[in-house]
Amino acid sequence: MKKKIIITGGLGYIGTELCKLYSGVSWHHKITVIDNRFISERVNQIRNWNMEFVQGDILDKSLVKSFFEDADVVHHLAGITDVPRTKSESSKSQDEKIKEVAEKGTQNILDVINDKCKIIFPSTHVVYEGINEVKTDIEENENTKPVLSYATSKAINENQLKKSGKNFVILRLGSVYGYSTDSMRIDIMPNLFSKITSQNGTLKLFAGGRQIKSLVPLIDVARCFKFMEEKDEINSDVFNLTKETLTVKAVAGICKKYNPKILLKETNDEVPNLGFSLSNKKLLSTGFKFLYNLDQNIKEMIQKWSKQNLTKDLEYVKDGDNLFIDNRGAISNHELTEPINLIGLIESKKGSMRANHFHPQQEQKCLFTKGQIIEIFQDIINPNAPKITQVVNAGQLSVIKPNVAHTMVFTKDTTFLNLVRGERDHENYGITHTIRKTIVEEKEKELLLKCYKFECRSCGSTDLKRVLSLGYQPLANNLINKKDEKSDLYPLEVNYCQKCHNCQLSVAVDPKKMFSNYLYTSSTSKIFRDHFINAAKKYYKELKLNKKKSYIIDIGSNDGIALKPFIEMGFKKVLGIEPAKNLSKLANKNKIKTFNGFLEKKNLKKIKKNADLILASNVFAHSDKLKEMADCMLSLISKKGTIIIEVQYLMNTLKDFTFDNIYHEHYNYWSLTSLVYFFKQFDAKIYKSEKIETHGGSIRVYVKKDKKIKIEKSVKNMLKEEENFGIKDYKTYQNFGNKVYKIRENVLNNLKRIKKNGKKIIGYGAPAKASTALNFYGISNEIDFIVEDNKLKHNKYIPGVKIPIRKKSFIKDKNNTLLVLAWNFYEDIKKNNSNLSDNFINIKELESNN
Ligand SMILES: [Zn+2]
């Protein structure tokens, strides 16, 4: 039967929930919502649910007559709810208003409805507030004892209904609790406690919180109203509607469980009444079931009102939450920050591109259901903000903030849902909704498609998260010969692998572009020469090597710096492997036998096997094809042989914020944790590890194929140290990224300050790290030129920022500020070059905020 159902006070606390329930049957019944308020969003929602909304007052007799005469059901929720809770709070005029709305309004309805119409009315447990002794499980037939105006008017309403001869249901509600957007309801005890808890406050428990309270969840109250409407056999009856009875202290205890930071403060004052509780036996006997409870409601309210740990990123990518998997498949969920009223389904072909625009007002949200993209975005409000890239996979939600230009490059055939709040009217394209802004040209799209990495180089996982973006940068070691020479720019970004904890670049530049003609000769530096001399002596002793028989390979041997000490000790069988033609030529000329090429499968035949010792210093960071390189190393080493890897240590980078270690040649950033994970994939084991000084902090690990080898304590200790530092926690990496952006700000401010003294600023040292840092900071004209020890770099320019590199004699007098860019050699440089300047500054000193 189609019923005409009226909900008075439908915009209120209970009315809102009841309307939601009726939205499910609004095509079967005629539903009218009457409220004297007008809340535009709610009214719009009610109309979209196929319900009628009438703004009007039940004190208006003609309005009541026209709407209620033929009603089948009235949920009579209208009434003043902002009521005094103690005698001292109440005033005469307010009391009269409460009474008027309650009595006259209800009478107006009772006067016009027909005898078959069922009127369902919320009364309150407070009608028993006058009972002096503690009484529990009060049943429906107990005489009411109201004191204050609210309870009194409810008691009068009950009598009006009972005397009316109409079909009524009275529900005596316990304290109704639960999340709602209705701000009036914060003062209900469980809601108030949840609010205080969400703000880390103090819960005051008067009389030790011993008072008992009958409570009922909001959604179950709304459900019970609908239940009473549906049950034709329930006529002219009264029910207590309460779910649970607890002491105030017990409610506080639940709050404390969800936020241990809150304080509970008990006072020992006397209260006139320790409360009472209602029995819900009669209600349960009708078959009504409660579905919600206090614990979950308190948890929800605390969560919704707590300071949220929101991501401040311009753009972020999120996996779905609350994953539910069974044999039919998987469900994942995304909770949105705002209502969505428009969904676009967008399909895109592999290799194509969309967006290249920004939204001045709206947040864009895209849920990817199939395929994959590279997303490129840039803050257009902050000048010089870096252009950032990010992979988004199927199942992920990408959120882009207003005024962030963005572009999608589709790396697979892709489908996504565009979730929009407001309009996406093409008439407003270019005005309010979407404004064109090209940040990726066709050529750059092709470059990204070619060099982007979608899987972890170490373990193959696709779960990579962005740590830091240093913007688009030139290849740091590819110095340019002329100032107007153009450099290719590639994103310089570090991602973190959630699975194996390796950090790595988002792109892989063709190694031939970087390593074929290499200007970095290790032997230029005395520190490195000494390092390898000491290392050779140590290995000779510790590994019991034999000068005549032992065969030693060095991978990425540069100019032979690591092998030279072995030759000088008298070793006969050594081999370098070096991809840079100029360097291998130089090494061979110096009688250090060197194979020119990469260590890769196709070259393996040309290299003699069964090495007793393989050295790989600083190449482990430099390999895009890690697994292939490791396979080759393991096939070259003898059964008992040792592989010794030296690589820059991620822990130092993270602790010292040496982000300038990041450049395109360094594909990977290793911790012992991620190295151990890496070698687990092969039949090999790291059995020893130690920290060394080179490159601002490195680690040296010892690997053997021998499965029975005993793992030394050094490995266990270092792993523990890394774990304590947070090497397995993405937050550690996010903090690092945020600090690096802060450093950029500080350096630029400090440089401006130094520039004020009017002296020339000259750089010292042009290592790759200087290129990374200068390009990230955007420092170019501020530095006049850079002097450098390495002759091969003279008269070239740092790519990107185009600062010229000169020999030291270019400095004519000491009236300058010498900014040491090769900061890891600062003390040596300062000591050995006192003739060049009176004022040496380490670029690292500019990083702090002073
Ligand atoms: Zn991984």
pLDDT for 267: 84
Tell me the H-state helices in 39-88: 40-48, 61-68
Closest CA to 646 of 567, 734, 556: 556
For residue 394, how far is its CA from the centre of ligand 1 (angstroms)?
19
Q: CA 700 to CA 542: how far, in whole Å?
A: 14
Is residue 430 predicted with pLDDT exceeding 70? no
Is residue 607 predicted with pLDDT exceeding 80? yes
For residue 637, how far is its CA from the centre of ligand 1 (angstroms)?
25
Spatial contact of 121 and 76, defined as CB atoms under 8 Å apart: yes
For residue 125, how far is its CA from the centre of ligand 1 (angstroms)?
60
Each residue of 729-782: pLDDT tens digit?
999 999 999 999 899 989 999 998 888 878 889 999 998 889 999 999 988 888
With H, G, I as helix, E, B as strand and everything else as coil, classify residue 216.
Answer: strand
How much is the average pLDDT of 805-819?
Answer: 91
For residue 3, how far is its CA from the centre of ligand 1 (angstroms)?
61
Is residue 522 predicted with pLDDT exceeding 70? no
For residue 189, how far is its CA from the centre of ligand 1 (angstroms)?
49
For residue 476, how far is its CA from the centre of ligand 1 (angstroms)?
25
For residue 652, how far is its CA from the centre of ligand 1 (angstroms)?
20
Each residue of 660-705: pLDDT tens digit?
989 898 899 999 999 999 999 998 999 999 999 877 789 999 999 9
For residue 501, how far is its CA from the centre of ligand 1 (angstroms)?
6
For residue 846, how far is its CA from the centre of ligand 1 (angstroms)?
34
CA distances from 314 to 100, 377, 382, 388, 641 (A): 54, 8, 11, 10, 50
List of residues 6+ apart from 163 with CB closer than 8 A = none
Closest CA to 507 of 402, 367, 649, 662: 662
For residue 168, how far is its CA from the centre of ligand 1 (angstroms)?
67
Question: Percent of the chain scored above 90 by pLDDT?
Answer: 64
Confidence of residue 101 (pLDDT cuts 50, 70, 90): confident
How much is the average pLDDT of 798-806?
Answer: 93
For residue 496, how far is its CA from the centre of ligand 1 (angstroms)?
8
For residue 464, how far is its CA from the centre of ligand 1 (angstroms)?
8
For residue 457, how far is its CA from the centre of ligand 1 (angstroms)?
7
pLDDT for 81: 66
Confidence of residue 385 (pLDDT cuts 50, 70, 90): confident
Q: CA 25 to CA 17: how far, in whole Å?
A: 14
Range from 651-665, 697-711, 720-734, 834-848 that averages highest in pLDDT: 720-734
Each residue of 619-633: pLDDT tens digit?
888 888 889 999 999
Q: CA 789 to CA 227: how far, in whole Å?
A: 87
Spatial contact of 820 and 761, defined as CB atoms under 8 Å apart: no
For residue 675, how far is its CA from the centre of ligand 1 (angstroms)?
10
Each residue of 169-197: pLDDT tens digit?
999 999 999 988 766 677 788 999 999 99
Confidence of residue 291 (pLDDT cuts 50, 70, 90): very high
List of residues 6+ apart from 501 with CB closer than 8 A = 671, 673, 674, 677, 727, 728
Is residue 314 predicted with pLDDT exceeding 80? no
For residue 368, how far is its CA from the centre of ligand 1 (angstroms)?
23
The CA dihedral of 542, 548, 550, 555, to the nearest 10 degrees, is: 100
Instruction: Output Rg (C-alpha) for the chain, integer angstroms.
Output: 37
pLDDT for 515: 66
Each residue of 40-79: pLDDT tens digit?
888 998 999 999 999 999 999 999 999 999 999 999 998 8
Confidence of residue 83 (pLDDT cuts 50, 70, 90): low
For residue 681, how far is its CA from the centre of ligand 1 (angstroms)?
11
How much is the average pLDDT of 252-270?
Answer: 90
Of 312 and 158, the structure prediction assigns the larger pLDDT to: 158
How much is the average pLDDT of 840-849?
Answer: 90
* Tokens linked to 621: 């960071």
pLDDT for 186: 78
Mean pLDDT (the chain) is 89
Confidence of residue 150 (pLDDT cuts 50, 70, 90): confident
Question: Percent of the chain scored above 70 by pLDDT?
Answer: 95
pLDDT for 395: 92
Q: CA 61 to CA 280: how far, in whole Å?
A: 36
Please report how the helices 672-680 and 626-636 are oriented relative to each other, as an axis angle in degrees rounded to 10. Answer: 70
Is residue 89 predicted with pLDDT exceeding 80? no
Is residue 304 predicted with pLDDT exceeding 90? no
How much is the average pLDDT of 225-243?
Answer: 95
How much is the average pLDDT of 87-91?
Answer: 65
For residue 455, how far is its CA from the centre of ligand 1 (angstroms)?
8
pLDDT for 107: 93
Residue with tokens 């609350």: 322
pLDDT for 184: 65
Closest CA to 35 of 79, 66, 69, 82: 79
pLDDT for 504: 95
For residue 627, how far is its CA from the centre of ligand 1 (angstroms)?
12
For residue 465, how far is its CA from the centre of ligand 1 (angstroms)?
11
pLDDT for 757: 79
For residue 650, how far is its CA from the centre of ligand 1 (angstroms)?
15
Is residue 273 predicted with pLDDT exceeding 80? no
For residue 726, how far is its CA from the centre of ligand 1 (angstroms)?
16
For residue 459, how far is its CA from the centre of ligand 1 (angstroms)?
4
Is residue 715 predicted with pLDDT exceeding 90? yes
For residue 458, how far is its CA from the centre of ligand 1 (angstroms)?
5
Q: CA 82 to CA 79: how far, in whole Å?
A: 9
pLDDT for 63: 93
Q: CA 385 to CA 407: how far, in whole Å?
A: 16
Confidence of residue 215 (pLDDT cuts 50, 70, 90): very high
Stated pTM of the model: 0.75
pLDDT for 527: 79
Is residue 309 predicted with pLDDT exceeding 70? no
Each residue of 7-33: pLDDT tens digit?
999 998 899 999 999 998 888 999 999
> What is the CB neighbour count within 10 angstroms for residue 491?
25
For residue 678, how far is its CA from the centre of ligand 1 (angstroms)?
8
Each residue of 443-496: pLDDT tens digit?
999 999 999 999 999 999 998 999 999 999 999 888 899 988 888 899 999 999
Confidence of residue 591 (pLDDT cuts 50, 70, 90): very high
Confidence of residue 386 (pLDDT cuts 50, 70, 90): confident
Of 519 and 809, the structure prediction assigns the larger pLDDT to: 809
Beta strand pairing call for 551-555 and 611-617: parallel
For residue 230, how far is its CA from the centre of ligand 1 (angstroms)?
58
pLDDT for 520: 62
